[in-house]
A and B are shown apart, each in its own frame.
Chain A
Amino acid sequence: TQLLEQSPQFLSIQEGENLTVYCNSSSVFSSLQWYRQEPGEGPVLLVTVVTGGEVKKLKRLTFQFGDARKDSSLHITAAQPGDTGLYLCAGNGGSEKLVFGKGTKLTVNP
């Protein structure tokens, strides 16, 4: 069974701070996705990474896929209250199912 471990589980920071959250596995994934889920809503896809070592940027968010395709990180620069939400990583190990981590719940305080 492929598992994705996300850390930290909870993170509370002040507006303007930088942060990094992690998604790790002992399994290799052909691709990894990051989602943000806001209260009362479903997850929304932020990015998909498919190549080992790949780095993608989305405004203040930087996503990295590990060289061995077993881990990924999400770095947010100068966090804003609008970044508050549950950040989920999901992996595609080659089957037709997505495997999700438990998520990191981020709170950015004004």
Chain B
Amino acid sequence: ETGVTQTPRHLVMGMTNKKSLKCEQHLGHNAMYWYKQSAKKPLELMFVYSLEERVENNSVPSRFSPECPNSSHLFLHLHTLQPEDSALYLCASSRTMGGLAGGRQYFGPGTRLTVT
């Protein structure tokens, strides 16, 4: 138990569906992250939020839409995804943003997404 929870743990969706991934952290952190983990690529940073403001959008297609309503919750809204978007989506949090100085990142267990 890392203090970061993600729901759902597994999701299968069609290309025309709209779904949302949820992340919640119970650590009092101010920075939250979305990562994508594919089978043949390194862990890729998608979005970073610091104090509920988006500070990083790593050239992610607009079919992925993040939302951070408060410092404890982070959502990833999905619509019209492609099969190549199938991956493990990981949420993480840290005390603050800023590499090593921001403190270690704590990862959630991930949502395994399959797009059919």
A-B contact count (CB 8 A): 58
Let me know if A42 and B56 touch, CB within 8 A. Answer: no
CA A50 – CA B100 in complex, angstroms?
A: 9
**Please, how many residues of chain A have a CB less than 8 angstroms from a CB on the other chain?**
25
Which chain A residues lie closer than 8 Å to B41 at the CB level? 102
Dominant SS among interface residues on chain A = loop
Which chain A residues lie closer than 8 Å to B9 at the CB level? 40
Chain B interface (Cβ within 8 Å of chain A)? Answer: 2, 4, 9, 40-45, 48, 56, 58, 90, 92, 97-100, 102, 104-105, 107-110
Chain A interface (Cβ within 8 Å of chain B)? Answer: 4, 30-31, 33, 40-45, 48, 50, 88, 90, 92, 94-103
Q: Provide a sorted-by-A list of 29 A–B residue pairs whose CB atoms are within 8 angstroms.
A: A4-B42, A30-B100, A33-B104, A40-B9, A40-B109, A42-B2, A42-B107, A42-B108, A43-B107, A44-B2, A45-B104, A50-B100, A88-B43, A90-B43, A95-B99, A96-B56, A96-B97, A96-B98, A96-B99, A96-B102, A97-B56, A97-B99, A98-B45, A99-B42, A100-B42, A100-B43, A100-B44, A102-B41, A103-B42
